A = this chain, B = another copy of it.
Amino acid sequence: MTVDTAVTSASGTAADTELVQLLTPEGERVPHEHYDTLIDDITADEIRDLYRDLTMSRRIDSEAIALQRQGELGLWASLLGQEAAQVGSARALRPQDHVFPTYREHGVAWCRGVDPAQLLGLFRGVDQGSWDPKENNFHLYTIVIGAQTLHATGYAMGVQRDGAIGTGDPERDAAVLAYFGDGATSQGDVNEAFIWAGVNNAPVVFFCQNNQWAISEPLERQTRVPLYRRAHGFGFPGLRVDGNDVLACLAVSREALQRARDGEGPSLIEAFTYRMGAHTTSDDASRYRLDSELESWRLKDPVERVKAYMTREKMADQAFFDGVEAEAEQLAEHLRTTCRSMPDPHPTTIFDHVYVDTPPTLRAQQEEMARYLDSFVDEKEAQ
């Protein structure tokens, strides 16, 4: 067969894979003919804000891990290493855009204005997502891998039907941003989302955080060619960006989201990044990956590189960094106190929202449970 012989490496090689990068791991700003234009309005203030977002995201994460260790949370899925991918893409959003996250987008939640303490309930086991998705246009976490990409696409089809694309009104035109991981690209649902988006030219941006691992499975178990290429076969553009470079993530996301808002259809962004921690607090990554890999990615740290950049460019002094640190500490304190004071739900509340219109048979079960629980109180009182 003569056509496009397969590249047999999922990471690709320098020759065939353009990685959009605007900030080197050392914090040097690399010029880019095209993408520079997408961020040339960014002020030093905004760079500082990005740094703050990155730091706060990381602090949310480390505090949650600590809370898990202390037994306050049952589980936590760490975003460590993926801060730039999340903050860069999320800061490209407008308020009217809608986000469909996985279970790891704590940094995106932060940028959307969700109180990070609200993220904890799900991991503590007191709820399954306590924030109002409509308040910040940030949907609930989705745990079934890939399912949310179809929801995002359908939502985008709704945006289309509402006439909220291509009007040129910056406060009206809306895009949808769907997050998912490298592992998720293997799910039928995700590929069907690509198909629906392509066929309908839906205003959705697929943002794949390729953190190189799906629990213990390296990228090679999901694909033998770079993931961003998947898009072309479905009829829309795809590209790979340095997922540890917040500026590059911001630039490519701005472009893709604007494309969507303008009615030009979907795109796929593969943010090439790394899961620095274990899959979740239940996982033991030492069973399947080498420390050396982690070490090499430590040198590409997404927060450090912005700090280096800012220092190099004299955008911030120690007082600024200390200020952010102090703010992060405050946030951590907020998380600790809020988390510890989260009450367990009353058992009979599990019947309240199975349906909007609760059937009598289910009410009867609720009463059955209530009577049963009361019988212990009675017993106790009797003693």
Q: A-side interface residues toward B, CB under 8 Å?
A: 1-8, 18, 34, 185-189, 191-192, 195, 198-199, 201, 220-225, 228-239, 252, 255-256, 259, 265, 267
Instruction: Count copies of this chain in the complex.
Output: 2
Task: Beyond the given A1-B252, A6-B265, A225-B232, please list 6 additional residue pairs across the A-B interface where CB-CB is below 8 A.
Answer: A195-B222, A198-B225, A199-B223, A201-B224, A230-B233, A230-B234
Q: Which residue of B lies closest to A5 (CB)?
A: B237
Is B237 within 8 A of A6, CB to CB?
yes
Nearest 8 A/B pairs, CB to CB: A188-B188, A191-B191, A225-B235, A233-B233, A230-B233, A224-B235, A1-B237, A6-B235
A225's contact among B7, B188, B229, B234, by CB below 8 Å, is which?
B234
Q: Which residue of B lies closest to A185 (CB)?
A: B195
Cβ–Cβ < 8 Å partners of A255 in chain B = 1
A192's contact among B188, B229, B239, B265, by CB below 8 Å, is which?
B188
Given A187-B188, A188-B188, A195-B186, the answer on whether A232 and B232 have CB atoms closer than 8 Å is yes
Given A189-B188, A195-B186, the answer on whether A233 and B237 have CB atoms closer than 8 Å is no
Once bound together, how far apart are the Cα atoms of A274 and B143, in whole Å?
42
Once bound together, how far apart are the Cα atoms of A51 and B252, in whole Å?
55
Cβ–Cβ < 8 Å partners of A1 in chain B = 237, 239, 252, 255-256, 259, 267
Is B229 within 8 A of A233, CB to CB?
yes
Cβ–Cβ < 8 Å partners of A256 in chain B = 1
The contact sample of 12 A-B pairs, CB cut-off 8 A, is A1-B239, A1-B252, A2-B239, A3-B228, A4-B238, A188-B188, A198-B224, A198-B225, A223-B234, A223-B235, A225-B235, A231-B233
Once bound together, how far apart are the Cα atoms of A225 and B344, in whole Å?
52
